[in-house]
């Protein structure tokens, strides 16, 4: 596996692959790989000829009070894990290469970014869309694979790709969970042992919501959200950022539960660790 650190070298290699008729896949990450990341790499490996995994902790998507300085990172650890998944390139540029002194551009997707995580983290999605647009131009993928845990992010990226005519297929890959049900996240490393039950309230409340929909012929989104909030707030360590049931494309609140409805959650544990999770309420 090759490690590349400059946009120029990455773009030149990607252009060579495309000229040779190879299908290029990209898995964008911020590193500290876990099984969720590795599953994205495997998916990309299945459907492309060349796999690029980007590793860049993007300062543009962190707010001034967020955990940029403490975000876990270990390039050598991640290099070994990516290499074991037969990744072709680990692309790990530094911030000065991505955002040189004269950098003055951002990408903004209207509407989809205003609520949910965008409401609690102003400017976050501008950072996401800007860095992803740059990564697309630097790696020139035919296909990009994103995890469905960051559900709003996935919807925003799909909208950006449509609006800006990127010739890229966006593939969402299902959430990977711990045996306990906890959605895998790099931020799980922050959790202390006495915070685990509080963290598990997200996946437990999702399972309860799905059970409610399965057992009751008619149940309103408001009833489901009330019960979900009750399960989470049984834990004094939990503070809810949001509990919503939204349409999976528009992210607008649902007036009734359908196959397009997604329960989305964001919860802070002891005001230190922000966890998100989501699930459809009907079907898989």
Please write the tens of the pLDDT for every residue from 31-78.
999 999 999 999 999 999 999 999 999 999 998 878 888 888 899 999
Q: Select the CATH number that applies to the domain covering 2-173 from these four: 3.30.70.2740, 3.40.470.10, 1.10.3720.10, 3.40.50.620.
A: 3.40.50.620
Report in angstroms the alpha-carbon separations of 165 from 11, 160, 168.
19, 8, 8
The span from the CA of 155 to the CA of 61, in Å, is 16
Average pLDDT, the chain: 96
Ordered by start, the domain boundaries in the chain are 2-173, 186-278
How confident is the model over 257-270, as a mean pLDDT?
97
Q: Which helix (H) or strand (E) holds 149?
A: none
Q: What is the pTM of this model?
A: 0.95
- Residue 218 pLDDT: 83
37 part of the active site: yes
Nearest of 253, 255, 262 to residue 280 by alpha carbon: 262
Phi, psi at 245, each rounded to 5°: -120, 115
Q: Select the CATH number that applies to the domain covering 186-278 from these four: 1.10.10.10, 3.30.1300.10, 3.40.50.80, 3.40.50.970.
A: 3.30.1300.10
Find all residues with CB under 8 Å of 177, minimum gap 6, and list them: 183, 184, 203
Angle between the N-to-C axes of helices 196-215 and 221-232, in degrees from 0 to 180, rounded to the nearest 10: 150
Catalytic residue selected from 34, 37, 110, 208? 37
């Amino acid at each position: 596996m090759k490690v590349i650190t400059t946009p120029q070298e990455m773009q030149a290699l990607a252009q060579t692959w495309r000229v040779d008729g190879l299908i290029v896949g990209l898995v964008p990450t911020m590193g500290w790989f876990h099984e969720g990341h590795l599953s994205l790499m495997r998916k990309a490996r299945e459907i492309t000829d060349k796999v690029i995994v980007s590793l860049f902790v993007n300062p543009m998507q962190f707010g001034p009070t967020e955990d940029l300085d403490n975000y876990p990172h270990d390039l050598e650890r991640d290099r070994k894990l990516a290499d074991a998944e037969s990744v072709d390139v680990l692309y790990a540029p530094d911030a000065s290469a991505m955002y040189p002194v004269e950098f003055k551009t951002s990408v903004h997707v209207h509407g989809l970014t205003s609520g949910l995580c965008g409401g609690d983290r102003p400017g976050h999605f501008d950072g996401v869309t800007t860095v992803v647009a740059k990564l697309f131009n630097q790696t020139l993928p035919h296909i990009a694979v994103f995890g469905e845990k960051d559900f709003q992010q996935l919807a925003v990226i799909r909208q950006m790709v449509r609006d800006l005519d990127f010739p890229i297929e966006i593939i969402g890959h299902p959430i990977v969970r711990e045996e306990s049900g906890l959605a895998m996240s790099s931020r799980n490393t922050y959790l202390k042992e006495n915070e685990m039950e509080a963290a598990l309230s997200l996946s437990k409340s999702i399972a309860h919501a799905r059970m409610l929909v399965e057992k009751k012929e008619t149940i309103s989104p408001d009833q489901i959200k009330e019960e979900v909030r009750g399960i989470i707030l049984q834990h004094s360590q939990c503070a809810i950022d949001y509990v919503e049931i939204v349409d999976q494309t528009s992210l607008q609140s649902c007036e009734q539960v359908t196959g397009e409805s997604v329960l989305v959650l964001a919860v802070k544990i002891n005001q230190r660790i922000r966890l998100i999770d989501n699930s459809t309420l009907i079907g898989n």
